[in-house]
Chains A and B, each alone.
Chain A
């Protein structure tokens, strides 16, 4: 690549050269070690909470609490009468 060639190079030419650069990779041992390490972490990570755990369970708990509160208030009112 001469000085003139570099100066005359368009953006597209330069981009093509950059895209043609070879990619590299981890060596075999490091590749497998990294995979194992990450897979171990994946096995330890808690599963994504389901719709039941995110929505239904809190709703049910809130409903039961409200129901008990209602009964308690009702019982107090009944005694007061």
Chain B
């Protein structure tokens, strides 16, 4: 684990060194390494594929503009996620998102492991769909902490730097996000039949 972590850090350091020289091949390597992860993070954060595409593009354009000014000790992964997250926050500040509309979007079109049987496929797809929808119901401050720490595997300290929080606060948000995610998974599916019997009787 530590060996693999050291290897990743060494690779990122080498990439930063090359980026500081304006190396185009290094930029391509960074792009191929982080593009899908950043896009997925942004899509789950915003609930909007088109917006996630734009913000992913803007993140890499920012990297290209700043590449030669990066500090030698830049943590590339944290830097990229911080830029992506801040771009999303800037966007949100400019425009309030309509959660209902976002939840109705099909976020993940076709991602199937070829080894799954048709039955497994259906169950797996259903679980994924429910989880993706449940994630969107977790308030953003908790969701972004969960995505960074659990899905992206960043340490609490790295996530704290990105989110401008203390590591303790990140830990609390992740814990709260898990609880809310469980609640959201237990909640009835969107579009489920309404329980009319529980509604108050209409008085005329």
Chain A residues close to B by CB (< 8 Å): 1, 3, 6-7, 9, 11, 14-15, 17-19, 21-26, 30-31, 33-35, 37-43, 45-48
- How far is the CB of A30 from the nearest CB of chain B, in Å? 6
Main secondary structure of the interface of B (DSSP, over half): helix
Of B32-40, B96-104, B193-201, the stretch lying at the interface with chain A is B32-40
Known contacts A39-B24, A42-B27, A47-B21; A26 and B35 CB within 8 A of each other: yes
- Do the beta carbons of A24 and B151 come within 8 Å of each other? no
Interface residues in B32-76 by Cβ distance below 8 A to A read: 35-37, 39-40, 43, 49, 53, 56-57, 60-61, 63-69
How many cross-chain pairs have Cβ atoms below 8 Å apart between A and B? 111
User: Which one of A1, A24, A33 lies within 8 Å of B39 (CB-CB)?
Assistant: A24
- Do the beta carbons of B64 and A48 come within 8 Å of each other? no
- Do the beta carbons of A22 and B127 come within 8 Å of each other? no
Known contacts A6-B182, A37-B57; A45 and B64 CB within 8 A of each other: yes
Whether a CB of chain A sits under 8 angstroms from the CB of B132 is yes
Q: Give bound CA distance, A24 to B40, whole Å.
A: 5
- Do the beta carbons of B61 and A41 come within 8 Å of each other? yes
Q: Give bound CA distance, A21 to B43, whole Å.
A: 13
Report chain B residues within 8 Å CB of A18. 131, 135, 146, 150-151
Report chain A residues within 8 Å CB of B127. 1, 17
| Contact sample, A vs B, 5 pairs, CB 8 Å cutoff | A26-B36, A39-B28, A42-B65, A45-B65, A46-B68
Report chain A residues within 8 Å CB of B49. 24
Report chain B residues within 8 Å CB of A9. 182
Known contacts A6-B186, A18-B131; A48 and B108 CB within 8 A of each other: no
- 14 more CB-based (< 8 A) A-B contacts, given A26-B53, A26-B56: A1-B130, A7-B186, A17-B127, A19-B153, A21-B128, A24-B36, A24-B107, A24-B108, A30-B53, A35-B60, A38-B60, A47-B22, A48-B22, A48-B69
* Chain B residue at minimum C-beta to C-beta distance from A14: B178
Interface residues in B1-44 by Cβ distance below 8 A to A read: 20-22, 24, 27-28, 31, 35-37, 39-40, 43
